[in-house]
Structure 1
């Protein structure tokens, strides 16, 4: 008989637990908080680090090695995010410019030819002039890939014969 009472008490407790889990007090993100002054959203404590912030910072500060895969990824990402304004060749004459938006600086200008890769990474991250930040849209590794592809675009227009490796230069000079 005591076993029956124990099972009935346990069933009652479980039923009460389920009801409490279905109907819980909840606040909207921007609603007033009864326990705090202001919004339900609270500022994180000082010196708090997001879960993946250290890894993202490491990727953002470490320039990857230049590989064909990195350049291919940079070309793909450049075509998606950069070419509408900067154009496919980096001249600053993309489709958006042809529709009346301000013209961005050509990647082939002297100022941008002298800029380092970190400058391009920072502009993609923070924006510059009329260009807004792409930090939320383009991961750090892809920003480095785009910067590498911009360098390839610049080199394609401003390379000299001295930039070609000796074995390749011999092939070019012997060609009819």
Structure 2
């Protein structure tokens, strides 16, 4: 559970581990997902080189509005870096992705990666990009939103206390 714009948001997260042997199973996770974190290891060039294939898979099997964040992991291993931060930024820019570097070991930017992805999804909901009545988009309204009034409060609102959107 995280809070965005004063609203409780529940994230459901699957880790597909990026294993080539699980690729066919991984494709099923894209269906019904509102967001994805595409992660590579900054100390292993081959993981960066495979990004295009993983991104194509994600885009082919998901909603066209899915939010995708590119993550360069292991930022704590600067001395062993094999992929420059600028390369990750350029790849993200070229493909319309959000970018950041993290360290799972030190927890640097890990929570921020999930929160920033959720914020982007939330903004798309607010802009009407995601149809909140279609669960195929990977978004479910919380119990406080009745089917007769499924719209989310505007970000400037605050009319609803303790509410969540998803």
- TM normalised by structure 2 equals 0.26
Q: Which has the larger radius of gyration?
A: 1
- TM normalised by structure 1 equals 0.25
Q: Which of the pair has the greater relative contact order for Cα pairs under 8 Å at 6+ separation? A: 2
| Bigger strand share | 2
